[in-house]
A = this chain, B = another copy of it.
Amino acid sequence: MTDTTIDPSPDSAPPEREPGGRAGRRGRRGRGERPAHVVQPAWKQPRNPYRPVEIVSADQLEAIHEASLVILEDIGIEFLDEEARAILKRGGARIENGSVNVHIDRGMVDEAVARAPEKFTMHARNPERNLEVGGAWCLFCSVGSAPNAADMEGGRRAGNSTDFINLVKLAQTLNAVHALGGYPVEPQDWHPSVRHLDGLAAIVTLSDKVFHAYSLGRERIVDGLEIARIARGVSSEELDAQPSLFTVVNANSPLRYDKPMLQGIMEMARRGQVAIVTPFTLAGAMAPVTIAGAVAQQNAEALAGLVLTQLVRPGAPFVYGGFTSNVDMKSGAPAFGTPEYMKGALLGGQLARRYGLPYRSSNVCAANTVDAQAAYESVFSLWGAIMGGANILKHGAGWMEGGLHASFEKFVLDADLLQMVAAFLEPIETDADALALDAIREVGPGGHFFGAAHTRSRYKTAFFSPMISDWRNYETWAEDGRPDAYGKANRLCKQLLAEYEPPPMDPATREELEAFVARRKEEGGVPTDF
């Protein structure tokens, strides 16, 4: 735990300027306009009231499902872990002698689908932060696994523990972020042998929200489970009965699972914890160039992960992850928030519902800076996720550049987008008072509603109030130095970090956590070959 040494402001990053003279614009901002406290809606897990979009017909859906079964039965999936293959073989899979290729028949798929839960609860160390997964419930995660971080002043730099800690603090402070979706940035200054110990200990100390552990072999998951157990103050048996940790694995598409991720999801399943299996099917690269083909492959890979987890422990909580996007066929660069991405998100959701599985999608973009592109790609991906009925939104706040950097400003801007989405998910009231006939009668033709009693009684909470959007008139805005959303997010980010308050933690819990981390570090953490 090194948080006490951290400057709460990203200003502590090197003062290098982005080219283009933005510093000049910055100089005009912030004079006395900082509100006393950043105002945001209270913590609340949203429910999605909208019927998800069905992007294909029932027949088309069955054609995709059938194609996935052909992949599983005839082509096969490689499982690069002996134990996983043994479990699958015992469960009825066909594996030729000496092969790593596993053929799973439709009966095994049906059985796994029948065993997996439609809904479950994820338990946080603060029970008020518990999260429902499945049905109409939505939850939004912070960005995960970016190798770099960036902010306006410091530019883009390799991931480090200072940025890691500050991004965790943002995730804790912003109510629109419901869970920590992995390391927001890779803390590369923490050695990989102990990174998971320092990283997860920092996350459970700086935050009281549900969190994620990486499936990089069995030991890191075992350590993550112990950290989750200590933080919650429960027994191992209680932990095993209450999902409290989640892991995301991206199959090594096409058609392969590597050993570390298989060890991770097996250990998670064994302990009744949550595996989100998300094939990384970029159409045209790791998957067919067609959306239907890429999603058929995604579906086969996800179902293979489902079968394994349900053989390890029937009823283990499982989330169907969709991440199909496309590449730029001119350069091979991955693209996100594209029309193809949106269709993939809708189709993934339709398949997950077919199987009665909770669905995971993402808030993604390929932009290098927090500009209009970053925003439109993100909102297009939110459109696909929400209309696709996603239950878990990964990378909800902070993701940039196809995941290659986490941005402080984008984190705050995304949190505002997520708040807007949550407000959009609040049902419309249509009772007599909401229909407002008395107010319409009172105001009458040509009148104005500002002063009406109906308005006065509701105006404070009637509308969502964004953090970022600048609705001032042009003249006032121009006099204030023409701030853009990027600059406003930069200021807000600093204020949010300054306002960060660590969630309370019982001293005994803190002591137990520190002792565990110290012991495991003494043992060398998880051995690495460097």
A: residues with CB less than 8 A from B are 18-22, 24-25, 28, 49-51, 53-56, 60, 63-64, 67, 70-71, 74-78, 101, 156, 252, 254-256, 283-294, 296-297, 326-335, 338-340, 342-343, 347, 366-380, 383, 387, 401, 404-405, 413, 417, 420-421, 423-424, 426, 428-430, 433-437, 439-441, 443-450, 452, 454-455, 458-460, 462-466, 468-474, 477-478, 481-482, 484-486, 489
Contact B472 A331 (CB under 8 A): yes
Contact B430 A64 (CB under 8 A): yes
Contact A430 B292 (CB under 8 A): yes
In the complex, A332→B401 CA distance in Å?
37
Contact A481 B20 (CB under 8 A): yes
In order of increasing CB-CB distance, the 8 nearest A-B pairs are A293-B436, A21-B21, A288-B436, A339-B423, A375-B375, A372-B375, A20-B25, A371-B484
Contact A404 B474 (CB under 8 A): yes
- A selection of 10 A-B contacts at a CB cut-off of 8 Å is A19-B481, A21-B24, A56-B428, A75-B441, A290-B462, A291-B428, A338-B464, A367-B470, A371-B486, A373-B469
Given contacts A284-B450, A367-B485, 13 further A-B contacts (CB under 8 A): A18-B482, A56-B428, A70-B437, A254-B444, A255-B444, A283-B463, A284-B449, A289-B462, A296-B436, A338-B420, A343-B424, A372-B468, A373-B468
**Chain B residues within 8 Å of A296, by CB:** 435-437, 440
Do A474 and B401 form a contact, CB below 8 Å, given A19-B481, A379-B383, A430-B292? yes
Contact B455 A347 (CB under 8 A): no
In the complex, A484→B437 CA distance in Å?
48
**Chain B residues within 8 Å of A53, by CB:** 50-51, 387
Who on chain B is nearest to A336 by CB?
B471
**Chain B residues within 8 Å of A339, by CB:** 420-421, 423-424, 426, 464
**Chain B residues within 8 Å of A330, by CB:** 465
Who on chain B is nearest to A477 by CB?
B368
Do A450 and B293 form a contact, CB below 8 Å, given A55-B50, A440-B288, A463-B326? no
Who on chain B is nearest to A297 by CB?
B440
Who on chain B is nearest to A62 by CB?
B430
Who on chain B is nearest to A458 by CB?
B289
**Chain B residues within 8 Å of A380, by CB:** 379, 420, 424
Cross-interface CB contact of A376 among B67, B294, B378, B429, cutoff 8 Å: B378
In the complex, A460→B327 CA distance in Å?
12
**Chain B residues within 8 Å of A343, by CB:** 424, 428
Q: How far is the CB of A477 from chain B (nearest CB, A)?
A: 5
Contact A371 B474 (CB under 8 A): no
Contact A290 B446 (CB under 8 A): no
**Chain B residues within 8 Å of A367, by CB:** 469-470, 485
Contact B284 A331 (CB under 8 A): no
Cross-interface CB contact of A445 among B256, B293, B333, cutoff 8 Å: B256
In the complex, A460→B437 CA distance in Å?
56
Contact A473 B441 (CB under 8 A): no
Contact A434 B373 (CB under 8 A): no
Contact B289 A435 (CB under 8 A): no
Contact B464 A71 (CB under 8 A): no
In the complex, A404→B326 CA distance in Å?
37
Q: How far is the CB of A346 from chain B (nearest CB, A)?
A: 8
In the complex, A196→B49 CA distance in Å?
46
Cross-interface CB contact of A462 among B254, B283, B485, cutoff 8 Å: B283
Q: How far is the CB of A262 from chain B (nearest CB, A)?
A: 14
**Chain B residues within 8 Å of A289, by CB:** 436, 449, 452, 454-455, 458-459, 462-463
Do A435 and B63 form a contact, CB below 8 Å, given A101-B445, A375-B379, A401-B474? yes
In the complex, A423→B250 CA distance in Å?
27
Q: How far is the CB of A4 from chain B (nearest CB, A)?
A: 33
**Chain B residues within 8 Å of A25, by CB:** 19-21
**Chain B residues within 8 Å of A478, by CB:** 368
Contact B19 A20 (CB under 8 A): no
Do A78 and B446 form a contact, CB below 8 Å, given A255-B440, A376-B379? yes
Contact A373 B333 (CB under 8 A): no
